[in-house]
Amino acid sequence: MTPIRVLVTDDIANTREDIKRLLYFEDDMEVVGEAGDGHEAVALAMDLKPDVILMDVNMPGLDGIGATEEISMKVPESAIIIVSIQGEQEYLRKAMAAGAREYMVKPLTSAELAETIRRVHQSQQRRNLQFGGGAPVKETTQERYAKKGKIVSFFCTKGGVGKTTLACNLAVALARQTQKKVALIDLDLASGDVSVMLNVAAKGSVADLVQDENGMDLGLIESYMVPHLTGVQILAAPSSPEQGELVEADHVEKILKILRNHYDYILVDTAPSYSDINLNVLDASDVIALMLNQELTTLKHVKSAREIFATLKYAGRTSIVLNQQNREGIKVKDLETTLDTHLTAAIPEDQRVVRTAINKGQPFVISQPNAGVSISVMNLMEELNLLEGDKSRSSRKNKMVVNRLFNF
């Protein structure tokens, strides 16, 4: 087996030696070089083309963030792991925007470091295949994610933007409109609310599923799913954050692969973070609904996400969905100017309809189908390019009504 080739970058020689000692007994890894600053890291990356680069943040001259950005452009087949004593979110955001695949905070253990290198290397191999670089592996991305079903993920690093509400209502709308197979997966592993919003008693959760000793297949997955009255099959989030820690990125990858081969639509409600699980989901998604509202804090999160998505090559699959649109928040025109793009869709604010639906556990697309918010969700199916064929006359009429009412 070819070892994972690692380049170690840190301006302190003793730190580099410590990292090399941590990896010395890992038979599947080889340290092929070490750099003392960002400029040297860029030069060695271009010369050695390592599989994984361990990059310190604070270095003289060209720092780790700058070096990461340069290497991501010049040697995109190499995966970069930022290693720093700084654990603040701002450093994490800058690292992800620059192109890093993981962010680790010192001090490190050998097991933690080795596991992260293996996971990031495996993920980078898949990305190299998808985007035209790197050596082939046994199974291509296209083979692993057969294009029968569409995966739609709902994402925002800011909470309270209505991801779950929209995911639930869109799943129900798709099932009723298309009469096709729809799966809804709750991957907000710490605090998912899909089963509550849809008023279903889950048979188990995604955490229970991944602990099952039987082989992962469609029958096993569906044994943990619960049907909604509309036909949507729901895989619930764990009942506690501790259980959520049992779910790993590889588990989610297998679940998506299997469901994609048997369902027409797979909707995923994600957690508000750049976790390895979320990155796997976003990698696999045909459509990423990046959620926005008219608050300045959310706008900041979405602007940052767009920068990161551009680096990760998600931009072409991303649609910005404005939720809870009202006349009091930041104007749509100003949102678009700040983000330098057009919004894909707008869902109007209707607190009475939405709150009543949530408290009753009945999606508003069923309980209030003629409300503006419900019509907007129905139109969202087309705006996200989820429906095949021409738009119906009734749908075009509905869109005209919403555009007139909400001036979007």
Distance between CA atoms of residues 92 and 156, nearest Å: 15
CB-based contact 37:62 (threshold 8 Å) = yes
pLDDT value, residue 146: 43
- Three-class secondary structure of residue 246 per DSSP: coil
Distance between CA atoms of residues 38 and 288, nearest Å: 33
| Residue 302 identity (one-letter amino acid) | V
Distance between CA atoms of residues 51 and 32, nearest Å: 10
pLDDT value, residue 39: 95
The sign one gets for the Cα dihedral 177, 404, 298, 335 is: positive
pLDDT value, residue 144: 44
pLDDT value, residue 119: 87
CB-based contact 116:81 (threshold 8 Å) = yes
CB-based contact 238:197 (threshold 8 Å) = no
pLDDT along the chain (408 residues), means of 10: 92 93 92 95 95 92 92 92 79 79 85 90 75 44 57 95 96 91 96 92 89 81 91 93 91 94 96 91 96 95 93 92 93 95 94 92 91 94 79 42 40
Angle 373-338-101 (CA atoms, 0-180°, nearest 5)? 95
- Three-class secondary structure of residue 54 per DSSP: strand
Distance between CA atoms of residues 235 and 195, nearest Å: 8
Distance between CA atoms of residues 169 and 379, nearest Å: 12
| Residue 259 identity (one-letter amino acid) | L
For 73, half-sphere exposure in the C-beta direction (CA atoms, 13 angstrom radius) is: 8
Q: How far is CA 13 from CA 34, 37, 120, 283, in A?
A: 9, 11, 25, 36
CB-based contact 314:131 (threshold 8 Å) = no
pTM tops 0.85, yes or no? no
> Residue 381 has which token pair?
């199916």
